[in-house]
């Protein structure tokens, strides 16, 4: 139920990846297999109808009982096939022989897993789209809102909040593109006992009395994929786990992209910074005044967990033989956990960005806290043209030390330097000095970069619209 997982509890992805969701997917995979065989004349259409009807009743199967019985065979497909066969026999005794015919347990569980992933990713992609839309609005609204750029935790040079929000959006769209590409490629699985599809040839030959065409298995694989709505793989992929590895990478990328957004919100919503706030912060059991950035906290927690889960999934690429012992089984729970964490993070990100409160006055206040030191980069360039780079650095190094040590503004320190240098005083007027010291006048291409970033839509920029 997610008692210790508030990041995904109650989410649509939690439902899609729960035991009931997996059970539905397993039954869907079994029904699709019989229908695919019926399209090629390998099973009666009446059998396909009977299996599909029985599979449409997941309430007849108890996930807990199946889980306990799964220990005998190492996976839940074996007891489920027994129960589904009995359910089909109640409807049509002759159709029961066509339940799971020719398949192996991994065919059904892999296909069901891809169905679960597809259904979960559809929700995640929707939430990422909502997040990107909210960030588009925020970036446009704050295109020219000045704030301190920070590097290595310290004020660096001025930037704009619009540029920061545009960067968040760019990451979200990168994640969206990767997940969308993986979602489109999620394949059905069908290979039989060892990836040759030989059982289907054997059944076809036994019933027709002659050897079937050599491409029977390939045609059946294509038909099966069509029945499930998944992609048709080039080969059975029992030990060619690229689909799972690709999904693992995309999920880790998405968690990291959302984690970047969360990390910035957590930093900028600190009491002493106060530049951002969540629209509806969380409370504290002990301190009535607290409004904690809960959504950002949950996203940050997810971002720290998903890469480790992805590592387990990458490890399963090294699978022995034609079907492995352990490598395949090790994927199940980490993949489900990664889907849930990313799904919860995407939900929280959509809510966070829709309600995010921005405080430009705090951004400007913080921008001014260094007494003008945030624009020394600009001053070096301006003074270099007047005095040469070496002399410009000497003047500014001395002025910066006075600013830090004496607690005065950089403008005062520079005015003192001007009084002692007639050349500098003549070249650097009071009006020019005020202009150079204005952080809002040292934004470079920030506004143009925001405009450029917002031209990107929610499609892969390498693909035609």
DSSP designation for 212: P
DSSP designation for 186: P
Q: Which helix (H) or strand (E) holds 137?
A: helix 105-141
Backbone angles phi, psi at 40, to 5 degrees: -100, 5
Calculate the CA dihedral of residues 178, 185, 14, 30 and round it to 10 degrees.
180
Whole-number Å distance between alpha carbons of 451 and 131: 18
Whole-number Å distance between alpha carbons of 119 and 73: 27
Whole-number Å distance between alpha carbons of 191 and 194: 7
Catalytic status, residue 323: yes
Q: CB within 8 A of 229, min separation 6: which ones?
A: 115, 118
Q: CB within 8 A of 20, min separation 6: which ones?
A: 58, 63
3-state secondary structure of 459: coil
Question: Which among 284, 389, 401, 432 is annotated as catalytic?
Answer: 284
Q: Are 371 and 155 in contact (CB under 8 A)?
A: no
Catalytic status, residue 402: no
Q: Which residues are catalytic, by number?
A: 284, 323
């Amino acid at each position: 139920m997610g008692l210790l997982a508030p990041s995904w509890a109650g989410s649509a992805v939690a439902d899609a990846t729960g035991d009931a969701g997996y059970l539905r997917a397993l039954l869907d995979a079994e029904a699709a297999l019989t229908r695919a065989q019926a399209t090629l004349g390998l099973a009666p259409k009446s059998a396909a109808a009977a299996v599909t009807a029985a599979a449409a009743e997941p309430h007849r199967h108890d996930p807990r009982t199946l889980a306990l019985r799964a220990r005998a065979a190492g996976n839940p497909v074996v007891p489920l096939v027994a129960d589904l066969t009995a359910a089909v026999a109640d409807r049509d005794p002759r159709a029961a022989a066509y339940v799971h015919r020719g398949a192996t347990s991994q065919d059904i569980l892999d296909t069901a897993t891809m169905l679960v992933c597809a259904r979960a990713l559809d929700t995640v992609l929707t939430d990422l789209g909502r997040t990107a839309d909210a960030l588009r609005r925020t970036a446009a609204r704050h295109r020219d809102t000045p704030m301190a750029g920070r590097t290595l935790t310290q004020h660096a040079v001025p930037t704009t909040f619009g540029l920061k929000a545009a960067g968040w959006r760019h990451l979200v769209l990168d994640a969206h593109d990767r997940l969308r590409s993986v979602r489109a490629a999620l394949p059905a699985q069908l290979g039989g006992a060892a990836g040759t599809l030989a059982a289907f040839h054997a059944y076809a030959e036994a019933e027709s009395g002659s050897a079937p065409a050599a491409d029977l298995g390939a045609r059946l694989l294509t038909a099966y994929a069509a029945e499930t709505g998944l992609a048709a793989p080039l080969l059975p992929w029992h030990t060619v786990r690229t689909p799972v590895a690709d999904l693992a990478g995309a999920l880790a990328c998405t968690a990291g992209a959302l984690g970047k957004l969360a990390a910035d919100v957590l930093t900028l919503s600190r009491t002493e910074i106060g530049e951002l706030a969540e629209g509806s912060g969380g409370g504290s059991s002990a301190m009535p005044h607290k409004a904690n950035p809960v959504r950002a906290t949950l996203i940050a927690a997810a971002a720290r967990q998903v890469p480790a889960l992805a590592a387990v999934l990458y490890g399963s690429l090294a699978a022995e033989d034609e079907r492995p012992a352990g490598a395949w089984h090790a994927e199940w729970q980490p993949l489900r956990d990664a889907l849930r964490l990313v799904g919860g993070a995407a939900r929280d990100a959509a809510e966070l960005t829709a309600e995010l409160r921005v405080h430009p006055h705090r951004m400007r206040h913080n921008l001014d806290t260094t007494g003008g030191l945030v624009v020394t980069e600009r001053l070096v360039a301006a003074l270099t043209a007047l005095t040469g780079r070496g002399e410009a650095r000497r003047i500014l190094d001395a002025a910066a030390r006075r600013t830090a040590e004496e607690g005065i503004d950089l403008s005062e320190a520079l005015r003192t330097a001007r009084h002692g240098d007639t050349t500098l005083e003549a070249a650097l007027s009071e009006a020019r000095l005020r202009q150079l010291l204005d952080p809002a006048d040292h934004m470079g291409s920030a506004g143009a970069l925001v405009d450029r970033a917002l031209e990107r839509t929610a499609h892969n920029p390498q693909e035609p619209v």
